[in-house]
């Protein structure tokens, strides 16, 4: 008996997929006749550890500066600009890396941000900002995203390092001390309201509140 019967037409790919799913479901819900319950539970546990560990390891790898600057868009534009600022080079040698400011540290928020970042992978693949000129054209849009994010979470990523509790205003310049007491301690403003363009160059600031 031949598998291909010319008299009956081959079922469509949708029907074949459906048949496969039904068969798979049948296998999955049938109790195992070969492996013991203990073996199955143990195998499931080991597979779970490997999957979860692998997932988090991969997540951490994508959360490093080396990974971020692996794309020339980041390396030649924003990372190059960061190097001359206080967040890269300063007297104490403590520095911020890309994810310190741009990825939330909290797990749920981090996953949400990572899902958003799939848009950035798209942008990389299709060369949205693959030249300096294209990057400059998009700089305002990119900056607006980050400003909006920091404004919405009350500058959480700034506050991961800079806490207003530990801020000794007597050690600050008179200008900074007055401004922090008036705007920061009263929660009238959040960090990003005043401190824009501290780690990267600014886009065209026309129309941005507080700028001319």
Partner 1 sequence: MIGKPFVLLLAIALAAGSSSLLAQSLNSGLRGPTPLNEEGPAPPMTPMRNTSEKEVRNYPEQPPVIPHSVEGYQIDINGNKCLSCHARARTGESNAPMVSITHFMDRDGQFLSTVSPRRFFCTSCHVPQNVVKAPIANDFIDVDTLISRATPGGRR
One character per residue 76-105, x = contact with partner 1 (rule: CB under 8 A): --------xxx-------------------
Binding of partner 1 at residue 175 (CB under 8 A)?
yes
Q: Distance between CA 37 and CA 127 in Å, rounded?
A: 51
Minimum gap (Å) between residue 134 Cβ and partner 1: 16
Minimum gap (Å) between residue 176 Cβ and partner 1: 9
Minimum gap (Å) between residue 65 Cβ and partner 1: 21
Nearer to partner 1, 29 or 171 (CB): 171
Q: Distance between CA 201 and CA 158 in Å, rounded?
A: 18
Binding of partner 1 at residue 203 (CB under 8 A)?
yes
Sequence-ordered alpha helix ranges (H) in 30-186: 37-61, 65-68, 72-73, 79-82, 98-102, 107-116, 118-125, 132-152, 156-159, 174-179
Half-sphere exposure of 84 (CA within 13 A, CB side): 7
> How far from 147 is each of 3, 100, 123, 156, CA to CA, in Å?
63, 15, 20, 12
Number of chain positions touching partner 1 (CB under 8 A): 21
* Residue located via tokens 């886009």: 203
Sequence-ordered alpha helix ranges (H) in 153-190: 156-159, 174-179
Nearer to partner 1, 140 or 156 (CB): 140
Minimum gap (Å) between residue 152 Cβ and partner 1: 22
Minimum gap (Å) between residue 183 Cβ and partner 1: 8
Binding of partner 1 at residue 169 (CB under 8 A)?
no
Nearer to partner 1, 104 or 203 (CB): 203
Burial of 20 (0-12, 13-18, 19+ CB in 10 A): exposed
Binding of partner 1 at residue 60 (CB under 8 A)?
no
Torsion of CA 121, 123, 127, 131, to 10 degrees: -110
Nearer to partner 1, 62 or 85 (CB): 85
Interface contacts to partner 1, rule CB under 8 A? 84-86, 173-175, 178-179, 183, 194, 197-198, 201-205, 208, 210-212
């Amino acid at each position: 008996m031949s598998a291909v019967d010319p008299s009956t037409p081959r079922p469509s790919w949708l029907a074949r997929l459906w048949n496969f799913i039904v068969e798979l479901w049948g296998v999955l819900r049938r109790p195992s006749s070969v492996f013991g319950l203990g073996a199955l539970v143990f195998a499931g546990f080991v597979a779970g550890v490997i999957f979860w560990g692998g997932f988090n390891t991969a997540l951490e790898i994508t959360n490093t500066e080396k990974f971020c600057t692996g794309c020339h868009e980041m390396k030649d534009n924003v990372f190059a600009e960061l190097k001359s600022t206080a967040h890269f080079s300063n007297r104490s040698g403590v520095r911020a890396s890309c994810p310190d400011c741009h990825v939330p540290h909290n797990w749920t928020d981090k996953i949400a941000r990572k899902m958003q970042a799939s848009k950035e992978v798209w942008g990389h693949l299709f060369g949205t900002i693959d030249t300096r000129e294209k990057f400059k054209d998009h700089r305002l849009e990119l900056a607006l995203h980050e400003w909006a994010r920091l404004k919405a979470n009350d500058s959480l990523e700034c506050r991961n390092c800079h806490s207003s509790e530990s801020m000794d205003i007597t050690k600050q310049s008179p200008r900074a001390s007055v401004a922090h007491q008036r705007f920061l301690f009263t929660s009238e403003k959040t960090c990003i309201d005043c401190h824009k363009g501290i780690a990267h160059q600014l886009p065209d600031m026309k129309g941005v509140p507080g700028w001319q």
